[in-house]
Structure 1
């Protein structure tokens, strides 16, 4: 692990802890760096602002569960791993998801889910030649937004349903949407 990655991870760890303790809006760069025992300028060597830091954390931790596994894991395993991750980090994400300002987490999450959904639809297209390009694009948008909306509600409500059960419900909903058209 390079020095810069270690520094980024230390900043991210401190940020996540502060967000869980005091909320996203109250976390400042000064607080992050003071708690990290690093110079304030070090933050700006790696991140433009705390919104970019949130994107980086999501990219490093959650998106790797989607994109790094697309080539060799089935989408069902990826979905379950993603919900386990969210459940383990629910306090942080609950605080992030309730913030609706610049660089909304939901927008970022939606874009990455489209890749997972595209993968599922491409496999479906190989089995069922009736999924044309326009339908595929619509379905990617529809399912990504539905997935994000339900995930957001689940996290904000406190992950009352176990991550494995929630993943199973999402998989069932996803599969039912692809049943043969009458």
Structure 2
């Protein structure tokens, strides 16, 4: 299936989750809204959880992975955290209602791509301790973001950006 159709399905899915909540969005409802056949959906996605995983990965690829050669890592980190904050209702539903897709792992995996680039520039990429630290650091940043989305009293996203940048810089100081 074409990327454009997958993207269209994913965008509609995201909109519907923000309007109705995760549990009230089904493959059938997406088919009706998009005027597509069931098989058209299943040509790309196994179910709504597969769609969720694809949508999260696609969004983070656009936000993080595709900007690595164009923006400074701090700006990319800020964009990533802003993306989560700007669509807080969507991410809240994805984090609190469903347990099939490990959102923290997806966040951390894309952050690792970013930090691997930072390590490469500092010529630390072959350092085993730095690699181990990188994964735990990315997971910690992911959990901090998730906590901020799910807590009743979230802090401003810029504070999380600042904390994440400080943690990264402290971890990889030479």
Where on the TM-score scale, by shorter chain, does this alignment land: which range? Answer: 0.7 to 0.9
Displacement after TM superposition at 1:86 (Å): 1.1
Unaligned runs of 5+ in 1: none
What pairs up with 1:93-132 in 2 under 5 angstroms? 93-125=91-123
Give the conservation status (yes or no) of the 8 Å contact 2:145–2:160.
no
Change (3 A) 1:43 1:159: farther
TM-score, reference length from structure 1? 0.83
1:155 to 149, 155, 163: 149
The corresponding residue for 1:19 is 17
Displacement after TM superposition at 1:59 (Å): 2.4
Which stretch of structure 1 is more off in the superposition, 30-39 or 145-154?
30-39
Which whole-Å CA distance do the structure 1 matches of 2:60 and 2:75 have between them? 14
Residue 173 of structure 1: SS of its match in structure 2?
helix
Which stretch of structure 1 is more off in the superposition, 147-156 or 131-140?
131-140
Which whole-Å CA distance do the structure 2 matches of 1:26 and 1:104 have between them? 20
Displacement after TM superposition at 1:166 (Å): 2.5
Which whole-Å CA distance do the structure 1 matches of 2:82 and 2:157 have between them? 5
Q: RMSD over aligned Cα, in angstroms?
A: 2.3
The corresponding residue for 2:6 is 8
Give the conservation status (yes or no) of the 8 Å contact 2:61–2:110.
yes
1:45 to 37, 43, 46: 43
1:137 is the counterpart of 2:131: yes
Change (3 A) 1:67 1:99: same
Residue 123 of structure 2: SS of its match in structure 1?
helix
Change (3 A) 1:162 1:115: same
Displacement after TM superposition at 1:68 (Å): 0.8
Q: Deviations over 1:74-113 (max 9, x none)?
A: 2101101111111121111111112452232222222222
Which whole-Å CA distance do the structure 1 matches of 2:79 and 2:128 have between them? 30
